[in-house]
Structure 1
């Protein structure tokens, strides 16, 4: 949106873990001079890395406001793993983290070596922490623990679709961000992340960048390719959203209803398989896949009326069960934990629910602030509360698995500041050097949205469609066809002459 659950929970356009307290090199990059001299980077050993690690870290200084380049600066944590085959090196491969609010530093720490192997050492693997998160200058809204509860931060309606509590909470969060976020929070946007990436390119001394963006990172990558086409080399976008400039994040959130419907049958087949009851593990939920969906919906409705408690006292509500479902749909490996939770919640009695959740109770204030900041600073959201109520009512009928949440009222409805930049329209203008890869059944960035990105790029792009479920495709599920198409493009520049379909494997 390497996937860490909480990072995909607000908008789910990521999969990166957020780094906290990551150390950087011993010195910072200087700001560009008024004469335009590019910034430099003083690389050093990463404080969080083992002594024998080849990963390096530095700090890049960028303008808080690019309209005032000599004004206040903010620090960005940056990282690299240098090519292990310098004689074969052809440039730098930028990892663009998802989120919004994902840590590129953590992405490289987690999968940089895997990318190095897949690209045969032809690139330095590089990335940055976007402003506001990880090792970069941190943002904050000063939100309470209750407002950072995931089932509150996301606009899950009350039983029956009532949005009264959502409205009150959204206004409270918007007010807190306006009061506590300051200039830094107002500067957090996709457009400024693109500007920061261009600043990073200059500091690296690279004429062009290659890139792998995932989830929300595909939008950042698409905007960079639109604004700086001459600076792009081999551009990979993995798990794409609809780039409609009139909606962007608002549209991505709404599309999650479709994503859940696309993906749920995979879980239903798994949960009805007799193999679930083998090996002493009782996880089978129903005799047939067709029975799993009504079973889940009935349990969620029951928990709406009669929440259960976990051992620590927090409640398992219907919405909290739905939130756990959404997270489980990201990865087949989470299906077992979701089945355990469903079975535990289905047992009669007042005893605490013993099964663990797939989601944290709350997320850190920094993560919440950055996610909200990008959502609300990128595009205008409707102000009419009646329109939200109508959309929720309709969406609940069409997509009961998500109960109207994806079209619910967000703090952006009460945001104090208008977007500083207009959303970028992605077009076919520019070099034909974009390769998209997409699972057919992605719960976060559904295939239908990816087709909109493909359409916007025109002949600039080719699309590799993978007959798989889950979020994230490249080097994720072991589909050799999809992985081969991307790795070949990155290592040879050879891109398919037309869109490609990869059959399910394994």
Structure 2
């Protein structure tokens, strides 16, 4: 391609007009290490009404939505394209109060950010709502942004599913075969998208959103996976970073290593849950000691493994436990659900709201694996079996629901390197963490802080839940983050806030 033609293609990279992917398959190419330069004069992002899936904020504020056409591969911007859906709620303050845009991401990978501009904004401190246009977006492959599908995903959506914790050589072989089948399904159904739904490519999309809105900087609030996405944006565009808050931090390292770390943290959290439940034996009736509660828990799981009830078996049980352990306000419901199964043979109290096999859930689960496997090196099957055995030596019945990156062992596209995170050239970033979060253990925040010089870590001590800022209702955390976002006040040192402790049973 000639230089003028290439420049024209680059300048068209952020065009707002929708474009469909071509029918011809795209060959997966190694990702280049050199950064892509953003176009200097992108088309503006034009907003109209939002789909019904996006909630409406309280009057007089309103949400508006638009779409941007992005290159499928930012390293070859003249090729096929994907669409990215964007939402915005404007700042409610005066022009003098305005600080720019606050791009937000709810996590995942696979979480839809289009409604998040409304739902998260409603929880933000008023000073932040007055200062920022809150901008949400569905990352590529998610929701309304060229959603990816992996079909049956190796039987992931079978109901009831098989036991997800392999015990013995035969069960381990079956487990690995299911991972291979999942990877094969993603290759068949997602096909050409596989290499290009990476976090790094999404970071370029974020830069395109900034440019299309005509803003000099991107301020950002990313929760859970959103912290990883923010760190990737910082690595590529450090001089475009405004004020960045990374909450419940994933941390650097491979996705598979993160999944293993999380599985061990879940064991600690579950032991805490057993002790909490035992201290309320009169309320729940599951036993007066942690060991007795554990026995009740295992009995429920054995019953459901032997006789699933209305499609609810051990896989569904483990998913429910995984969800409940991440937020302490769900512990009462989990304990009541265990009692309901033991006393009445009814697991309905354990079922999370919403169908696991809904279109939204199918998209989430597909995007989760596709993004993780596009982000860096994969484990080997031998690594997977060895780590499961090590975890089962810690506890014979672990919760492995979050081990999504295990499927990367059989992925059809292998990235050559890990997603770069952080930059010494970025301004100070604020990291936020719960001291005992089992979903994103605090070790990740401490490790990422070392890649972000001048950054500070705000820790909510004596807290056991995932998601902290504008989520836990802690004034110390919320005021510290608001002062940083609105006035640029970076704490002189890491901050420790006093957490709520374990919940009171309802």
Normalization by structure 2: what TM-score? Answer: 0.83
Q: Which residue of 2 aligns with 1:465?
A: 459
User: How is 1:224-373 mapped onto 2 (pairs within 5 angstroms)?
Assistant: 224-244=233-253, 247=254, 249-274=255-280, 277=282, 282-289=283-290, 291-297=292-298, 299-300=300-301, 302-303=302-303, 306-310=305-309, 313-317=310-314, 319-347=315-343, 353-358=347-352, 360-362=355-357, 364=359, 365-373=362-370
User: Counterpart in 1 of 2:199?
Assistant: 190
Instruction: Confirm whether residue 59 of structure 1 aligns to residue 56 of structure 2.
Output: no
Cα distance, 1:34–1:320 mapped onto 2, change above 3 Å: closer
Instruction: Tell me the equivalent position of 2:225.
Output: 216
Query: Shift in Å at residue 224 of structure 1?
Result: 0.8
Alignment of 1:31-430 (within 5 A): 36-48=40-52, 49-50=55-56, 54-87=62-95, 88-115=97-124, 117-143=126-152, 146-149=155-158, 156-160=164-168, 162-244=171-253, 247=254, 249-274=255-280, 277=282, 282-289=283-290, 291-297=292-298, 299-300=300-301, 302-303=302-303, 306-310=305-309, 313-317=310-314, 319-347=315-343, 353-358=347-352, 360-362=355-357, 364=359, 365-383=362-380, 385-400=381-396, 402=398, 410-419=406-415, 422-427=418-423, 429-430=424-425
Query: For residues 416 and 447 of structure 2, what CA distance do their matches in structure 1 show?
Result: 25
CA contact (8 A) 1:255 1:406 kept: no
Residues 34, 382 of structure 1: alpha-carbon distance in 2 compared, 3 angstrom cutoff: closer
Q: CA separation in 2, counterparts of 1:464 and 1:207?
A: 27
Whether contact under 8 Å (2:377, 2:414) holds in the other structure is: yes
Aligned CA distance change for structure 1 residues 404 and 105 (closer, same or farther; 3 Å) = closer
When normalised by structure 1's length, the TM-score is 0.83
Alpha-carbon shift at residue 415 of structure 1 (Å): 0.9
1:22 aligns with none
Cα gap change, 1:151/1:39 in structure 2, threshold over 3 Å: closer, same or farther?
farther
Q: Give the conservation status (yes or no) of the 8 Å contact 1:393–1:404.
A: no
Per-residue displacement from partner, 1:90-112 (whole Å, max 9, x unpaired)?
21111023100111112112122
Distance 1:408 1:492 in 2: 39
Could you report, residue by residue, the CA deviation over 1:14-41 in whole angstroms, capped at 9, with x for unpaired residues?
xxxxxxxxxxxxx94479x998521311
Cross-structure match for 1:16? none
Q: Which residue of 1 aligns with 2:451?
A: 456
User: What per-residue deviation string (whole Å, max 9, x for no partner) do you get for residues 397-444 of structure 1?
Assistant: 1244525666688321111112166421435x1234200010011111
Partner of 1:15: none
The alpha carbon displacement at 1:177 in A equals 1.5
C-alpha offsets along residues 350-407 of structure 1, whole Å, 9 cap, x if unaligned?
A: x554434127443533222211111111112133x33322221111112445256666
Distance in 2, Cα, partners of 1:478 & 1:108: 19
Structure 2 counterpart SS, 1:67: coil
Where do 5+ consecutive residues of structure 1 fail to align? 1-26
Q: Which deviates the most, 194-203 or 357-366? A: 357-366
Cα distance in 2 for partners of 1:34, 1:286 equals 60
Q: Is the alpha carbon distance of 1:390 and 1:177 closer, same or farther for their aligned partners in structure 2, counting shifts above 3 Å?
A: same
SS at match of 2:130: coil
Distance 1:204 1:150, change over 3 A: farther
Change (3 A) 1:102 1:219: same
* Distance of aligned partners of 1:262 and 1:403 in 2 relative to their CA distance in 1, 3 Å threshold: closer
Task: Report the counterpart of residue 442 of structure 2 in structure 1.
Answer: 447
Q: Aligned partners of 2:242 and 2:405: how far apart in 1?
A: 39
Aligned counterpart, 1:8 = none
Question: 1:124 & 1:39 partners in 2: Cα distance?
Answer: 19
Q: Secondary structure of the equivalent of 1:86? A: coil
Provide the secondary structure at the position in 2 that maps to 1:336. Answer: helix
- CA root-mean-square deviation: 3.0
Q: Does the aligned pair in 1 maintain the 2:376–2:418 contact within 8 Å?
A: yes
Q: What is the total number of aligned residue pairs between the two structures?
A: 461
- Cα distance, 1:28–1:407 mapped onto 2, change above 3 Å: closer
Contact 2:457 2:494 in 1 (8 A): yes
Q: How far, CA to CA, are the matches of 1:228 and 1:152 in structure 2?
A: 43
* Residues 87, 115 of structure 2: 8 Å contact kept: no
Q: Aligned in 2, Cα 1:293/1:150: closer, same or farther, shift over 3 Å? A: same
Deviations 1:127-163 (A, max 9, x none): 210111112112122226932359969x922345732
Deviates further, 390-399 or 203-212: 390-399
Q: Contact 1:308–1:345 at 8 Å: present in 2 too?
A: no
Contact 1:140 1:185 (8 Å CA) reproduced: no
The gaps in structure 2 that reach 5 residues or longer are: 1-14, 20-36, 502-506
Contact 1:148–1:363 (8 Å) recurs in 2: no
8 Å Cα contact 1:150-1:363 kept in structure 2: no
Deviation at residue 62 of structure 1 after TM alignment: 0.6
What displacement does 1:232 show? 0.7
| Cα distance in structure 1, aligned partners of 2:306 and 2:133 | 51
For the residues of structure 2 that align with 1:238 and 1:375, how far apart are their CA atoms? 19
